[in-house]
Amino acid sequence: MELERFIGEITSLGFPTKPILDFIRILYTARELPYEREVKISRQPPYPTETLFEVEDWIVKLLCKYDLIPSGISETTSYGEVANVRYYRLTKEGLQLGSQIFQKYLQDVIGRLVDVLGRYPQKLIRIIALSAISPRDGRATWLTIKVNGLNLDTAFSRITSEFEMLMMRPEELIRAYRDSKRAYGDLRLVFERLRKARAKMYEPQVYDMFISKVLVEYNGKVHERTLSLMKELSALGLARKVQVYTSKGEYIWDEYRAPPEIAYALEEYSANVDLSEVRKMFLAVELIMRALSEKVTK
């Protein structure tokens, strides 16, 4: 649905537009927003409920009516051993409308955004932008920054595994799993394909994405400055701090999120930055880490 048409319809129904558009923008910014948690401290329901986010019921009902958010509890609830967590999520139509609302809001605050970005090194902004680019298709995704960074070894191994998976198409991974199980009864072909996928990571464009993702995850200076920027973006309404839960319903961490439009804006703002020196230094660190890892595990 086009934004102007949506605004016209809700206005004709007598609803105030600002709280509706603000909620859709917040939800789009966060990608998904936990709003309620049922903690299973007893054997049988009802379980005590913890409220995580509040919005007026009439707004939720209106968005359900327009099929902008799912209406069924099963579609919005993650049922876990520890707790059931309920989320507000946008449907496909909701995401399309949310993007329009966010872009319009971004235009309204673009001058303030430029002022904020001017206080940070362009090289840092480039790294943050590339951390939100998918190595699979080169598209901007949601920018996510954990409040508490990881140690270098954890960040490095986690992002390596993530990129190996992303460098393979899902159907290719499924085929490797099926062929390996049929031929050998184990996963040796899967691991072989993943090793081949890792080689693609060293193409300069992809490697810059890998470096960037590790640096914003690692609890170092880059993460510290990135977190500072995300807080400023949040104050502008361009990012959102979100609580993250496991599939069991356990709280694990807080992270800041910003939608693809922000990743794209940061990428355009820092388009002339050259990361070749960063690439050389990071590759040297990576080689040392891999050598030490192999020595320890022998």
Tens digits of residue pLDDT in 54-107: 999 999 999 999 999 999 888 999 999 999 999 999 999 999 999 999 999 999
As a whole number of angstroms, the distance between CA 25 and CA 14 comes to 20
The per-residue pLDDT for 294 is 63
Residue 194: its pLDDT value, please? 76
From first to last of its 298 residues, what are the pLDDT tens digits of the chain?
A: 899 999 999 999 999 999 999 999 999 999 999 999 999 987 778 889 999 999 999 999 999 999 999 998 889 999 999 999 999 999 999 999 999 999 999 999 999 999 999 999 999 999 999 999 998 889 999 999 999 999 998 999 899 888 887 877 778 778 888 888 888 888 888 778 777 777 777 888 899 999 999 999 999 999 999 999 999 999 999 999 999 999 999 999 999 999 999 999 999 999 999 999 998 888 888 877 777 666 544 5
SS3 38: strand
The predicted pLDDT at position 295 comes to 54
The Cα 90–Cα 94 span in angstroms is 5
Residues 6+ apart with CB under 8 A from 48: 38, 39, 41
The predicted structure's pLDDT at residue 245: 98
What residue ranges do the domains of the chain occupy? 1-107, 118-298
Q: Please identify which residue in the block is written with the tokens 């299973």.
A: 40
Are the C-beta atoms of 258 and 229 separated by less than 8 Å?
no
Question: Domain 1-107 is of which CATH architecture?
Answer: Orthogonal Bundle (1.10)
Residue 293's H or E segment, with its range, is helix 276-297
Please give the model's pTM, rounded to 2 decimal places: 0.88
